[in-house]
Amino acid sequence: MINKTVSNAEEAIKDIPSGAVLMIGGFGLSGIPENCIAALLKKDINGLTCISNNAGVDDFGIGLMLKKSMVKKMISSYVGENAEFERQLLSGELEVELIPQGTLAERVRAGGAGIPAFFTPAGVGTEVAEGKEVREFDGKLYLMERWLKADFALVKAWKGDTAGNLIYKGTARNFNPMMAAAGKITIAEVEELVPAGELDPNQIHTPGIYVQRIFQGKNYEKRIEHRTIREKR
C-alpha cells in the first residue's frame, strides 16, 4: 500500500498558495480540520476561496481565517453564528455565495463523482434560481446545478490508516466524505492514525484512493457551540 503519511499539519498544507480553492469539512464546529486551519493561520496567504457549510464562529474555525482577511470568497449554506462573517458580507469585503445545504452537499459529491451537473427542486422560484436553467420533469420544476471541485480538500476523520482510509464518528462525518473525493489534493487529519491493515475494510467510510496526505492530528479542542444538557434522573 502507498504510504500517504506526512508528519504534521504544517507539512501537509505547505504548498497551499494564495488564491487557492479550498474545501473545508465540518458542520458548525463539528468535524472541522482544526489542525489544518491552525497551520493555515500561520501562513502568509490570502485570496482563498473556501467551500464549507459554515464559516466557523468569531474566534474558532474558519472564523479565524476571516478575521485575518485570508478569505476572498465563501461558498456556504449557513453563516448565522458568525458576527464577523455577517459584517464582512454586508459591507461587501467578502464575496459570498449562499447555496442550499443539500445542493452544496450534492454539488461537492458531483465534483468528486465526475457528474458536471444535476437537477434539484431546491431553490425553484427563489433568488437561488436566478440565471440557472429550470427544467420540468414529470410535472415538477427543477434547477440545474453544477459540480464543485477544489484545489485542496481539508477533511477530518476519527480514525485513519497510512493508506488514507478514513472512518468518521457521530455527526462529525457531514461534508467530509464528499469533500475528500472532490479535492485534487485531499489532506486528511485524524485523531488516531494506524498502519494499513488495522482498520476493518467493512467499516471504511472514505476509501484511501481519495486521500493524498494523512497525518495524526493533536490537541483537538472540539469546541461545542450549544452545550445543551438535561438533568440526570
- Catalog residues that contact other proteins under the rule CB under 8 A: 27-31, 53, 76-81, 86, 89-90, 98-106, 108-109, 120-128, 158, 169-178, 205, 222-232
Residue 89 or 154: the one with the smaller Cβ distance to other proteins is 89
Side chain identity at residue 229, one-letter code: I
Residue 106 or 161: the one with the smaller Cβ distance to other proteins is 106
Least distance in angstroms from the C-beta of 14 to other proteins: 28
User: How many other CB atoms are there within 10 angstroms of residue 8's CB atom?
Assistant: 14
Least distance in angstroms from the C-beta of 86 to other proteins: 6
Q: Largest alpha-carbon pair distance within the chain?
A: 55
Nearest to 102 by CA among 127, 74, 77, 125: 77
Residue 16 or 62: the one with the smaller Cβ distance to other proteins is 62
Nearest to 203 by CA among 160, 153, 174: 160
Instruction: For 209-225, give the secondary structure using H, E and C.
Output: HHCCEEEECCCCCCCCC
Least distance in angstroms from the C-beta of 45 to other proteins: 25
How far is it, in rounded angstroms, from Cα 230 to Cα 233? 9
Least distance in angstroms from the C-beta of 141 to other proteins: 9
Residue 136 or 231: the one with the smaller Cβ distance to other proteins is 231
Least distance in angstroms from the C-beta of 215 to other proteins: 19
Residue 121 or 196: the one with the smaller Cβ distance to other proteins is 121
Residue 230, C-alpha cell as written in the block: 438535561
